[in-house]
Amino acid sequence: MTIRAWQAVAGPAAVAAALTLAALPAGTRLGMGGFSLAAGVAALTLMAAAALLGSRWRWVEHAFGGLDRVYVAHKWLGIWALALASAHFLFKADADGWDVAAILELPAFWTRLVRQLSYVALGLIVLLALNRNIRYSVWRWWHKLSGPLFLVVVLHWLSFRSPIRLESPAGVWLATWSVLGAAGALYKLLLYPLLARQAEYEVVAIDPGQAAAHIQLTPVAHPVRFVPGQFGFLRMKHDGLREPHPFTIASGSGGDGRVDFVVRALGDFTAKLVAQVRPGMRADVYAPYGRFVRNAAAPREVWIGGGVGISPFIAWLQDQAADAFHKVTLFYFYTPGREFPELPVLEAMARERGAELVGVAGGPGDPAFVERFAALCREHGPRAVDVAFCGPKGLLGRVRAELAANGVPAENLRHELFEFR
């Protein structure tokens, strides 16, 4: 059983609020002071959880069922941390009858400055992180500040005069989360480049397309070990292209250690990468991540790739260790004139492995998809159809509707989240 984003937010926030209210005198728990204090404790807890998730530790990824799910939970933790911090900031966390004291005494000026800085900086980081219109390089460096910012928030808790004692259940809760969050933040900021699973690669070939490229790399020394369908962070060792960016590894599990990335120019960084990458360039590949693997045991497999979301299915087709492709139907949603790889290339791949390929140029309402998918459900029974999807969020919604219309259980759909930011 994996943790969902709403559980990652609601669970720690509820426990934080309950422990905080239990530490207050009974007659003050339902007042605005108690609400403000509980909101502040919950906000710090969610910030700590976000910092922990940002570490990319393998056990965290396993708990959430994939790093793509970790990123979604990380985003919502930040949003709700800002909302709760706003409630804490608006109302005074105090009431008559409270016995308050600071764990770490600071001069009044610094106590007030740390409090204001922690809130303003948190709001700035969350708003910039959610703004998709700023350059990736700017977004990435702003997001790096979330680790040091968390330490400022911890300092605010320690210097704030409150009824929560360090040895109380609420104090132990805050101390534990503070340590976990600080460990995750410092690991990601300082140790991740040194200790993460990575290998150095060299670009050996580029297959350019219209606003896209198929980049082939071979290991300089040792290769990364991955399961087809997983993704990695590609960091080019070239000025202007050094920001690590996630891409699905679009190659099989061959013995030469080669990794392929299909990159479409969808933003400022990917456009620059497609335009400037050249054979001979070196890169670090941080991998593998993700849990999007083939369910070869399913009676009938349906793969659905939209745009660059075709990448994991290319890897599955090229997996020389796999078989049973005769029971696979691959739907490829593309925009005519912008498909990459081109449809004949995919047709050749599918034909070589004995899989069925259906090109869909007219969107989710195209009869090529609707009628063929319905026929598969009638032929094999809707419960026997296993659907693997990778593509834009809007297309995923239409695919869900088609599954429901044909009686395919919702649990038969597995999908990789298409966007991290």
86 lies in the same domain as 145: yes
Question: Is the residue at 307 inside a domain?
Answer: yes
Position 137 scores a pLDDT of 65
Residue 261 located in a structural domain: yes
Q: How many CB atoms lie within 10 A of CB 148?
A: 12
Which of 195, 213, 237 terminates a domain? The answer is: 195
Please write the tens of the pLDDT for every residue from 209-244: 777 889 999 999 899 888 898 999 999 999 989 888
**Domain CATH code at residue 259:** 2.40.30.10
- Is the domain of 254 the same as that of 375? no
Within this chain, do residues 92 and 180 fall inside the same structural domain, yes or no? yes
Q: For residue 143, what are its two tokens?
A: 């997001």
Is 250 found in the same domain as 371? no
Same domain, 263 and 388: no
What does the pLDDT read at residue 116? Answer: 86
State the pLDDT at residue 421: 46
Residues 6 or more apart whose Cβ sits within 8 Å of residue 118? 85, 149, 152, 153, 155, 156
pLDDT at 1: 78
Structure tokens at 188: 């990601």
Q: Would you state the structure tokens that stand for residue 168, as one six-digit string? A: 């109380």
Diameter of the chain by CA atoms? Answer: 77
Same domain, 75 and 126: yes
Do 121 and 267 fall within a single domain? no
Look at residue 205 in the predicted model and tell me its pLDDT: 93
Do 252 and 364 have their domain in common?
no
Residue 221 is assigned to a structural domain of this protein: yes
Per-residue pLDDT 10s for the chain (421 aa) are: 799 999 999 999 999 999 999 999 988 998 999 999 999 999 999 999 999 999 999 999 999 999 999 989 998 998 899 899 989 988 888 898 899 999 999 898 888 888 888 888 777 777 766 666 667 666 777 777 788 888 888 999 999 899 999 999 999 999 999 999 999 999 998 899 888 889 999 999 998 877 788 999 999 989 988 889 899 999 999 998 988 888 999 887 666 788 999 898 877 888 899 999 999 999 999 999 988 999 999 999 999 999 889 999 999 999 988 899 999 999 999 988 888 888 999 999 999 999 999 999 999 999 999 999 999 999 999 999 999 999 998 999 999 999 999 999 999 999 987 665 4
Query: Domain of 214?
Result: 198-289
The token duo for 196 is 């993460």
Both 139 and 184 in a single domain?
yes
State the total domains in the chain.
Answer: 3
* Inside any domain, residue 294: no
Q: Which of 289, 318, 348 is the last residue of a domain?
A: 289
For residues 306 and 360, is the Cβ–Cβ distance under 8 A?
no
Whole-prediction pTM: 0.86
In a domain, 362, yes or no: yes
Three-state DSSP string of 3-51: CCHHHHHHHHHHHHHHHHHHCCCHHHCCCHHHHHHHHHHHHHHHHHHHH
Q: Do residues 228 and 356 both lie within one domain?
A: no
End of a domain among 195, 213, 228?
Answer: 195
Give the pLDDT score at 351.
Answer: 96
The answer on 188 and 245 residing in a single domain is no
pLDDT at 326: 95
Q: Residue 47 phi/psi, 5° resolution? A: -65, -40
pLDDT of residue 143: 73
Amino acid at 87: A
Q: Let me know whether 188 and 85 are in one domain.
A: yes
Task: Please check whether residue 182 lies inside any domain of the structure.
Answer: yes
Cβ-proximal residues to 252 (8 Å cutoff; 6+ apart), any chain: 228, 315, 316, 317, 318, 319, 320, 321
Helices (H), 131-215: 136-144, 146-159, 169-186, 192-195
Burial (CB < 10 A; 0-12, 13-18, 19+), residue 221, is exposed
Residue 421 counted as domain residue: no
Which has the closest alpha carbon to 251: 280, 281, 283, 215? Answer: 215
Is residue 251 situated within a structural domain? yes
Say which CATH number the domain at 357 has: 3.40.50.80
